[in-house]
Structures are given as structure tokens and as C-alpha cells.
Amino acid sequence: MNLALFDLDNTLLNGDSDFEWSQFLIRIGVLDRELFEVKNLAFYEQYKAGTLDIHEFLDFQLKPLSRHSRKTLDAWHRQFMQESVLPMITRPARELVDRHLVAGDVCVIITATNSFVTAPIAREFGVEHLIATEPEHRDGEFTGNVADVPCFREGKVTRLESWLTAHGWNLESFADSTFYSDSLNDLPLLRKVRRPVAANPDETLRAHAERNGWLIINLR
């Protein structure tokens, strides 16, 4: 039995679903462009540079969820999937996931983006297991806060280990373990698996992969 882990944004997607969700809300008039677009762009640049304060970002990203009913949010998300997400899914990304699914591997999308945004995307890929940053909810509605450890940098390792334990596994339970990621932020988890793969890597990850002889692939 093998384990296949996939980062989502800029790895399986040719773009960033977290960033695009805020841009979508701006586009449909839910968020004020003047107030939110500059912040959204700034946080995205910090993420790419490896300097993002995840708690500051989550406060920005999750608060809008608390201002609207889940029914309304779900309707917006269906529109978001059609307009923003499906165009970011490339054929090589689908084929990569399908190869692992057909092989019978345990497939997991593991992402810093919150599960409200990413759960429908995981379903679109046919991936049953999702480990994501969890928005806190009460009586089915979002509070605007984060629950559990954010699934970011070292937090991805923590969340994966908790998920494995809950299933009665650890990384040594698998004959092979692979993690596909584009980002320097995922180096903590890339170093944990047997087969780290730099997919559409940023400059820092590409340099690290070349130094260490990791496989580099292009899913675009």
C-alpha cells in the first residue's frame, strides 16, 4: 500500500484557490474591492516569499465566511467552481491523480487553504481524503475563527500525523510515500516522505530539489 499526498494550489491547480476565492467575492460585490484587493495581493506575495503570518491571513480569509449563511456561501461556491476553479484544473494534474487512484494508492489532498473552499475541489478530483485548514463552525455556520492547527508549513506535518494516527497508520505503514508540491512552504513535509516531488516549483523549491536530486515535474 502506497500513500500519495498532493498539495493543491499551484500544484494540482494552475493557480491559487485561496487567492481566487477572495477575488471572486470581490468580483461579485460581496467584498469591497478597495479594502480587500490590496490586502489579498499582499498576503499572496507573502505566501510566495515564505513570510506569511498564517494567523493574520486566516483572520482576513475566514471572517467573511461568518457574515453569510452556509446556504448562501454554498451557492457562491458552486459559481466559484464553474467560473474560477475548473479552468485552473489541467489535464496533466487530473492524469497524475487518476494514475495514483487506479494504482490503489491512498490519495490525500493536503492544503493550507480552508476546507470550505477546498472540499468541493477534492471531490472534483475524485480524492476522498482532504487535510486542510479547518474553519470553526457552530450549529452549521462559520464563526470566522480557525479550528485545530492551521495546515501550513510545519502544521502540515502535524495535521498529517494526526490524520494518520486516526486511521491507525504512520508513514512507515506504507511501502512508499510521495508528496507533490510547488512551494518552499512545504519543505517540512517534503522532507518527511520517501519520494518528494517538486511540481511546478517556485525558485527556492526548484533549487532545493536540484541540490537533493528530487524529481521535478510540470503539471501545466
Enzyme catalytic residues: 7, 9
Geometric angle at alpha carbon 114, from 111 and 120, rounded to 5°: 85
Neighbours of 144 (CB within 10 A): 17
Catalogue the long-range contacts made by 116-121 (C-beta closer than 8 Å, 24 or more residues apart): 116/65, 116/73, 116/77, 116/142, 117/17, 117/18, 117/21, 117/77, 118/8, 118/17, 120/77, 120/78, 120/81, 120/85, 121/8, 121/13, 121/17, 121/81, 121/85
Within 8 A by CB and 6+ apart from 37, the residues are 23, 26
**Cα dihedral 20, 133, 78, 30 sign:** negative
